[in-house]
Structure 1
Amino acid sequence: MRQRAVKTLSVSVPSLSGCPRALYAKKKAKFPSEDYMSTKFRATDVLDNDEEIKQLNREINNLNESNNEMEADMVNLQTQISSMEKNLKSIEHENKMIEEQNEALFMELSGLSRALIRSLANIHLPHMQEPITEQNFDNYVSTLTDMYTNKECFQSPENKALLESINKAVKGIKV
């Protein structure tokens, strides 16, 4: 038999280590083992991160609860403030009404005082030197009050006549 000679062809493949394109492609290529090692990603890191995430979630929940409580407190405060403002307006309105009534009563009292002064202008009280005026009005009224409350004053005929003339003068005043 004839042996055939087998000639092997040797094909030489050039190395890519010097090729710039090959270096760029190698840098771009990601191999799982290199990726994990480059970021130092380990199972303990996952557990640590998991605990940190749980802690952060607890803190977020606590903050949400605190925010909800604060919002409820704010709504409550706004309600109280609105109620206080409404009460204040009501009180201001009542005070205005009272001021108007007081002013009306003052005007009426002032008119009565002038009418009393005119009616009693000619009547001199024994304890007072001058006739009634706006300046001595309070003293005059106090003296009259004392005379009417003192029962002994009615015993004297002079005082009795004086009190009757005062009664006549006052009866003409319309209230």
Structure 2
Amino acid sequence: MNEIMNSYPVNKTNKVKIVSYNTDFVSEFPIPLPPIGKNIDSVMIKKIIAERKFPIKLENILGNENLEGIGQSKTLNLKEIFELSKLLYNTCGKFSDDSREVSKCFFPRNAILFYDENDKVFEILEICFECHRMQFYSKKSLEINGMCDNFYLKLENFYNSRELETKHKGYNNETK
């Protein structure tokens, strides 16, 4: 565990937050639906387009403390950071296998934000629990092997136990 605590990004972190975002979006490219039973004219189309919301891109918050668009967040205490680090870096063996990740959707709704001494986000680990994939924003971070059994379930339980959403809000209704 000492190796993890001395490795980037953990070694440069003053604060860690877990976040939930984009839970209102089915995909990256939302298509607004016109009201049912109404005649659609150009004014209505312009209004729909003007009111249309887009998913947030987390890279836009790098170097900022503003988390506009983040639906839920929780700042972790030292015990929780240690628990999360053990989960991320000690759950699986260190065997690389990227073949499973290539064909997945990757529309992340969760992330881990790493803050520097100036309370600015300097690293992001985005997580998609729907396709079981994750990626760091930079290439300097430790490699996480998320290919073992139950890794994503354990990580999702970590988020859920802190009352953060991990899937599209309609996900439970869609899968029943």
**Shorter-chain-normalised TM-score: which range?**
under 0.3
Structure with higher helix content: 1
Which structure's CA Rg is the greater one? 1
- TM-score (norm: length of structure 1): 0.21
Structure with higher strand content: 2
